[in-house]
Amino acid sequence: MNPSNVYFTDFHTVAFGDSLPVKLKKLIRKAGIEKLDLEGKFVAIKMHFGELGNISYLRPNYARAVADVVKELGGKPFLTDCNTMYPGSRKNALEHLECAWENGFTPLTVGCPIIIGDGLKGTDDIDVPVQGGEYVKTAKIGRAVMDADVFISLTHFKGHEMTGFGGAIKNIGMGCGSRAGKTDQHSSGKPHITPDLCRGCRRCQKECANRGLVFDEETRKMHVDQDNCVGCGRCLGSCNFDAISFDNDAANELLNCRMAEYTKAVVDGRPNFHISLIVDVSPNCDCHGENDIPILPDIGMFASFDPLALDQACVDACLAAAPIPGSQLANNMAKKDFIDHHDHFRNSTPESEWRSCLAHAEKIGLGSREYNLIKM
């Protein structure tokens, strides 16, 4: 496969010059979004509206910039995301929309409707065949996502406690899965709790939507109910004491492979375009109800027709950047027992893994890891 083109612009502006939303508009036009036939077409713009309490998600201004360009090209855009499988403010469409509004995403601010892709309860999905899928034969994708004529992803590129980073593939594959689809992707492994490390704080239990964690009142320790646990990994990110780990060492790799295959199900056979912004690079997902200080500096905006090349370009830019002093990444690297993985994402969250995702995505024909970086 030939290298894909990835277009890039940084976050620098000059006094009285272009604003960042204007720079984004110019970037996606330069990257060729006008090649898409958008006239009269329904255009899904997939993004993350942020969990309540988290303020590192992409600002609505960026969504407005993309929606405006789509409308200028004759398209009918709508912002979308699917419901979550864990407790929080986005597990059904009513709460999800209220969360989006509270975080600043309204038809007035973004210039287009907001539709929750898998419906009121997260059950409005469609089985989509995965061409060449090794782990997933049919993906459960939100119906509104698949009903769109054109698909655009708008991604906040940041860290992630399981998959190393959250990029375009995670935004699309995991994000477009219905609640059942998300469970399907997470079903590879179950966590284990080390009793000696467990403090009995119950913080992990608050993150579990499936009665997968049981607190023993006698020992004051938590343990995993293997029958109810779906392996989503939310508890892993909630534990401050390293008491939780996965029994299946390959769980993250299997999750990555399924996520890549879900992404292929979403984009196969229809026009698609992808945008990622490396900004406010928090160590964990925007699904958290909080966000730590960024681990890396704001780098820039990227756009491509190839979601895999886009993720690879963003990874390379992040690995070449210097850690921010005082961040989780920098603090980990300063520890006496620090083991250097020569990888900012694994150095930030050592139990995470991301390379298998990109390798499998290339294997199944999602795109190319080779790219030409074209700077504006």
Averaged pLDDT score across all residues of the chain = 94
Q: What would the mean pLDDT of 308-318 be, rounded to a whole number?
A: 98
Q: What would the mean pLDDT of 61-90 be, rounded to a whole number?
A: 94
Cα 268 to Cα 103: distance, rounded to the nearest angstrom: 31
pLDDT band for 34, please (50, 70, 90 cuts).
Answer: very high
pLDDT in the model for residue 186: 81
Domain parsing of the chain, residue ranges: 4-185+256-368, 191-246
DSSP strands (E only) in the chain: 4-9, 42-46, 76-81, 114-116, 125-129, 138-142, 150-156, 158-160, 164-166, 191-193, 213-216, 221-224, 244-246, 272-278, 300-304, 371-375
**Is pLDDT at 236 greater than 90 in this prediction?**
no
pLDDT band for 59, please (50, 70, 90 cuts).
Answer: very high
pLDDT in the model for residue 189: 67
Q: Which of 120-124, 190-194, 266-270 has the highest mean pLDDT?
A: 266-270
**Is pLDDT at 295 greater than 90 in this prediction?**
yes
Cα 339 to Cα 366: distance, rounded to the nearest angstrom: 33
pLDDT in the model for residue 109: 98
pLDDT in the model for residue 188: 66
pLDDT in the model for residue 251: 82
pLDDT in the model for residue 230: 80
pLDDT in the model for residue 330: 98
Domain range 191-246, CATH architecture: 2-Layer Sandwich (3.30)
**Is pLDDT at 237 greater than 70 in this prediction?**
no
**Neighbouring C-beta atoms of residue 13, cutoff 10 Å:** 12
pLDDT in the model for residue 371: 98
Q: Name the percent of the chain lying above pLDDT 90.
A: 84
pLDDT band for 246, please (50, 70, 90 cuts).
Answer: low
The residue behind tokens 């709460």 is 95
pLDDT in the model for residue 250: 56
**Is pLDDT at 23 greater than 60 in this prediction?**
yes
**Of 49, 115, 128, residue with least CA distance to 76:** 115
Cα 191 to Cα 249: distance, rounded to the nearest angstrom: 10
Q: What would the mean pLDDT of 223-245 be, rounded to a whole number?
A: 82
Could you read off the pLDDT of 358-373 as tens digits, one per residue? Answer: 999 999 999 999 999 9
The answer to which of 62-66, 144-148, 165-169, 247-251 has the lowest mean pLDDT is: 247-251
Give the pTM.
Answer: 0.88
pLDDT band for 192, please (50, 70, 90 cuts).
Answer: confident
pLDDT in the model for residue 360: 98
The answer to whether the beta carbons of residues 312 and 319 sit under 8 Å apart is: no
* CATH (residue range 4-185+256-368): 3.40.50
